[in-house]
Amino acid sequence: METERGNEQGAGPARRRRTRKGTGPAGKALLIGCAGALLAGCASMPDNGDVTAVDQSPRAEGDSQVRVYGVPPQDGAQPTNIVRSFLDATTSDEADFRTAIQYLAKPAKRTWRPFQVTKVLQERPKPEPKVQPNREDGNGYTVTLSGSQVASVDDNHAYTPEEKPYRQTIHLVKEDGQWRIDRLPNGLVLGLSDFQRIYRSVNKYYFASYHSESQDPKASRNVLVADPVYLRQRIKPITSSVQALLAGPTDWLNEVTSSEFPRGTRLAARDLALDDSNALHVKLSKQAANTDTTQCKRMAAQLFFTVQDMTRASKISEVELQDPGGNSLCELSQEQAERDFVSSPRSASSAKEYFIDADHKVVAMSDYATEPTPVRGPFGTGRTPLRSVAISRAENTAAGVSSDGRSLYVAPLEDGTERGGPLLTSAGPVKSADEGLTAPSWDGLGDLWIADRSAHGSRLLRMREGKGDPEEVAVPGLGGRRIKAIKVAADGIRIAILVEDKGRTTLQLGRVERKGSALHPVLSVQELRPIAPQLEDVVAASWAGGSRLVVVGRESGGVQQMQFMETDGSASNAQTLPGVNGVKAVAASEDETRPLIADATEGIVRLPPDANWKTVAKDGTAPVYPG
C-alpha cells in the first residue's frame, strides 16, 4: 500500500510516497481499504525501479515497515520548491537516490557524492531563497540552507557530535525550461528525526591490538572491540554491515584494533541474507582465498558479531566464508563464536552486584538474594572503612580506597587473608571528596587503574595485575583539566574519564595506546572525545555494553537525568530509563541483560530489565559490578 505525504506547506512538489506492507487479516483489510483510495485518486504507486530480494534478517524492534519514496520534480516548479523536494527525496528509502538525482542538472548528476558526509541538524534545513543572477546567462537562482547542526557522519560511517550553525547554498539553473540544481555541497543534510528513522547504530567488530604488550599471556588475541557506525537500516542491512566491516576500523579505533581480513577484501556477491536456518554464507573476493583456517575463523568471528549486532532479533546459527567460486573456506557456528571469541571480556559468572554497606563492609548480592552478604576476605569484615571499591573481573580480588581518600588497598576475596599495607598513597593533601584517589577500575587484562587528584591537577596510574608498581599513563589531551573519575573498558583499550574544568564536569572517552617495548611499555590515553556533550554536569558513568555507557548528569538549567549513550557520542537506541532521585553513583554490567544499580536518595537501588527501580538497601554507597 502506498500513500503520499504532503510537504510542510501542504500539497506540492515536496511530497513523498510511503509503502506499507500488510500481512494476515490486518494487512488484507488495509489492502481492501487502499483499493477504494486508489479509485478515488488519493494515492500513487511506484511506476519504476528494480526488483530486489527482500532481506531475510529479522527487523529491529520499532521498524514500522514503512517505506518512503521521493516524488519526481513537477513541471514548472519554482527553485525553492525544487530544493525542498530534493531534500525530501534524499530521505527516501532508495539505495541509489535515483529520484533525488532527477532534481540535478546534468553536470551535478555526475559530480554529486551523496555518501561523502551526512550533516545532521536539529530540525530539517530551512531553504531561504535569494536571487543571484548568473554572470554567464543571467538565469541563476541561489537558495540558502540554514539550521543548527548537532552531528556529522563521515564516509566511513563514523558519527561525531558537532554543535554549530549550519549554512550552505544550493544554486539552480534552467535546463530544458525547468529549474534544476547545478551546484550543491557533497553529502546529505538531514533533520534529526529523519536521521533517526533512516539510520541505525551498528557495531562492527575488530580485534584489540595491545602492541608492546601483545606477547603478555593475559593479552588474549581473541578480544573483539565494538566499533559503532551508522548505516541505513532499510537498505540491504546485512550487506551494508559486512561492507562496512571490510572497509576497516573507523579512524578513532584504527590505532588500537586490527582486522583479520586481508587488505582489499571485498564482497563477491551482491546481496547477503540469512537462510531458513539463520545461517549466513558470505562469498569473498580473491584476497581472502589463501587464508589458513585459523585466520579464516577469526575473519568469520568478526563477521558473526557484526551481523549479529545488525540482526539483533534472533541468533545467527552459523557463518560460512566462501571463495569467489563458492568453495567453502571455513565455517564458524554460534557455539564456536561465543566460546572461542569474546566481544567483551568479562567474568563467566558476573551474577553479583557489590556495594559498601553502613557497617563499612563490602557486600555482594545476586538477583535472587533477599539480603546482601559480606564478601570473603578482609574487606568483608568492616575493619577497613572504604570510600570506594572495585572487584576484579575474575571476582577473586578487590581494590578499595580508604574513607579519607589517601590509600589504595588490594586484597584477595578469600577467607583467612590479611589486608596488608597500602599499594598506593595519594601524593598530596586530601581536603575534600574531590581530591585524593578516585575509585579504582579493573580492565579485562587483570590490570588496575586509578587516578590521583589534587587541587592543581591529576595523574592517571596503572598497576599491572593489581600488584605492580604504579606506572603513570600520559593523557596529553587533558591539558589543565582535572580527572574526577575513571572507568576502563573490559578490552583495556578504551577508558571513560570524568573531566572537570572550571566547575563543569564532562564525560570523555580516550583510547589507550601501548608503545615502548615488552619490558618497558609506555602507555598513553589519546584523542579524548566527548560523550553526552549536551550534559554539562556529569555525576557518574559506567560501561553498559560493548559500545554503550550509562551516564548520569544534567543539561544546562535542567534536572538530573540518567540515559544510555554510545561511545561515538550519539544517543543510544536502548530503552528510556525511569527516573530515580538524587543519584550519586551508578553501575552497569557489560552484559546488557544485567540490571542497573545506583546509589540514590532511596539508598542502593536496582533496575531489573523491563521493571522499575527497587530499593535493595536503605544505607550503602559505591555500587559496582566486577570491573
Position 130 scores a pLDDT of 66
Average pLDDT over residues 362-377: 89
Tell me which residue range forms the domain holding 243.
234-340
Region 502-516: what's the mean pLDDT? Answer: 94
Instruction: Tell me: do 184 and 43 sit in the same domain.
Output: yes
Which residue is associated with the grid cell 608492546?
A: 212
Question: What is the pLDDT, as a whole number, of residue 155?
Answer: 94
Of 100, 94, 97, nearest to 234 by C-alpha is 94
| Torsion sign (Cα): 264, 248, 284, 293 | positive
pLDDT tens sequence across 325-349:
999 999 999 999 999 997 654 444 4
225 belongs to a structural domain: no
pLDDT (0 to 100) of residue 591: 84
Instruction: Count other C-beta atoms under 10 Å from residue 576's C-beta.
Output: 10
One-character DSSP codes across 147-216:
EEEEEEEETT--EEEEEEEEEEEEEEEEETTEEEEEE--SSEEEEHHHHHHHEEEEEEEEEE--GGGTTS
pLDDT of residue 278: 95
C-alpha cell at 237: 542491512
Give domain status of residue 228, yes or no. Answer: no
Q: With bands split at pLDDT 50, 70 and 90, how would you rate the model's confidence at 5?
A: very low
Domain boundary pick from 312, 340, 368: 340
Cα separation, 511 vs 528, whole angstroms: 7
Q: Does the residue 139 lie in any domain?
A: yes
pLDDT score of 12 more than 60: no
**Would you state the pLDDT for residue 128?**
82
Residue 585, SS3? Answer: strand
Q: Average the pLDDT over 163-181 and give the result.
A: 95
Averaged over 425-447, what is the pLDDT? 91
Burial 154-170 (b: 16+ CB within 10 A, else e): beebbbbbeeeebeeeb
- C-beta separation of 525 from 508 below 8 A: no
Q: Is the pLDDT of residue 310 over 60?
A: yes
- Can you spell out the DSSP letters for 246-292? HT---TTTTTTEE-SSPTT--BSSS-----TTSEEEEEB-GGGTT--
Name the residue with higher pLDDT: 188 or 609.
188
470 in the same domain as 439: yes
* Residue 200 Cα distances to 66, 159, 232, 549, 587, angstroms: 15, 11, 6, 17, 26
- How far apart are the C-alpha atoms of 109 and 423, rounded to whole Å? 66
Tell me: do 548 and 412 sit in the same domain: yes
Residues 389, 335 within the same domain: no
pLDDT in tens, 218-255: 887 899 999 999 999 989 999 999 999 999 999 999 99
Three-state DSSP at 244 gives helix
Strand ranges in 422-519 using DSSP code E only, listed in sequence order: 424-425, 436-437, 441-442, 448-454, 457-463, 471-473, 482-488, 494-501, 504-516
Q: Give yes or no: residues 534 and 426 share one domain.
A: yes
Task: Report residue 85: phi and psi, to 5°.
Answer: -70, -35
What is the predicted pLDDT for the residue at 312?
81
> What does the alpha-carbon distance between residue 489 and residue 497 come to, in Å, rounded to a whole number?
11
Most confident of 27-36, 435-444, 553-562: 435-444
pTM score over 0.85? yes
pLDDT band at 428 (very low <50, low <70, confident <90, very high): confident
Predicted pLDDT at 17: 42
Q: How far apart are CA 456 and CA 459, in angstroms?
A: 11
- In this structure, are 246 and 285 located in the same domain? yes
User: 178 with 324, same domain?
Assistant: no
Do 370 and 505 lie in one domain? The reply is yes
The residue with greater pLDDT, 130 or 395, is 395
Q: Which residues contact 372 (CB under 8 A, 6 or more apart)?
A: 355, 357, 363, 364, 365, 616, 617
Q: In this structure, are 312 and 375 located in the same domain?
A: no
- Give the per-residue pLDDT at 137: 52
Q: What is the pLDDT of residue 480?
A: 86
Task: Please tell me whether residues 303 and 392 are part of one structural domain.
Answer: no
> What is the pLDDT, as a whole number, of residue 66?
67
Fill in the DSSP letter of residue 487: E
pLDDT at position 177 is 93
Look at the chain and report how many structural domains it folds into.
3
Mean of pLDDT over the chain: 86
pLDDT digits (tens, 9 = 90+) for 444-477: 999 999 999 987 789 999 999 999 899 999 999 9
Over residues 594-614, the pLDDT tens digits come to: 899 999 999 999 998 878 999
Report yes or no on 217 lying in a domain. no
Q: Distance from first CA to last CA of the chain, Å, rounded?
A: 51
pLDDT reported for residue 138: 66
pLDDT at residue 47 is higher than 60 = no
pLDDT of residue 24: 41
Share of the chain above pLDDT 90, in %: 73
Residue 35 has pLDDT above 50, yes or no: no
Banded pLDDT at 43 (limits 50, 70, 90): very low
Q: Higher confidence at residue 11 or residue 142?
A: 142
Distance CA 188, CA 113 (A): 9
Residue 486 has pLDDT above 50, yes or no: yes
- Does position 3 have pLDDT exceeding 90, yes or no? no
> Which residue, among 171, 181, 106, 179, has the nearest Cα to 134 in the 3D structure?
171
Report pLDDT for 503.
84
Beta bridge partners of 524: 474, 513
Give yes or no for a contact between 425 and 409, defined as CB atoms under 8 angstroms apart: no
Strand partners, 257: 208
| H/E stretch holding 42 | none
Task: Give the residue, 155 or 608, on which the prediction is more confident.
Answer: 155
pLDDT surpasses 70 at 356: yes
Same domain for 519 and 373: yes
C-alpha cell of residue 423: 599499594
Q: Domain holding 615: CATH number?
A: 2.130.10.10
In a domain, 295, yes or no: yes
Strand, helix or coil at 496? strand
Q: Report pLDDT digits (tens) over 372-408.
A: 999 999 999 999 999 999 999 999 999 999 999 999 9
Q: pLDDT category, 432, cuts 50, 70, 90?
A: confident
In a domain, 53, yes or no: no
* CA proximity to 489, closest of 511, 473, 521: 511
- The string of pLDDT tens digits covering residues 527-570 is 999 998 889 899 999 999 899 999 999 988 889 999 999 999 99
Higher pLDDT, 62 or 143: 143
**81 near 14, Cβ under 8 Å?**
yes
* Claim to verify: residue 315 and residue 413 sit in the same structural domain: no
Q: Return the sign of the alpha-carbon dihedral for residues 535, 536, 539, 543.
A: positive
What DSSP element (H or E) covers 35?
Answer: helix 24-39
Whether residue 145 lies inside any domain: the answer is yes
CA gap 500, 478 in Å, rounded = 10
Looking at per-residue pLDDT, the higher value among 518 and 82 belongs to 82
pLDDT given for residue 68 in this prediction: 78
Residue 29 confidence (pLDDT) above 60: no
DSSP state of 104: B
What one-character-per-residue DSSP string does 502-535 give? TTEEEEEEEEEEEEE-SSSEEEEEEEEEEESTT-
Is position 346 within any domain? no
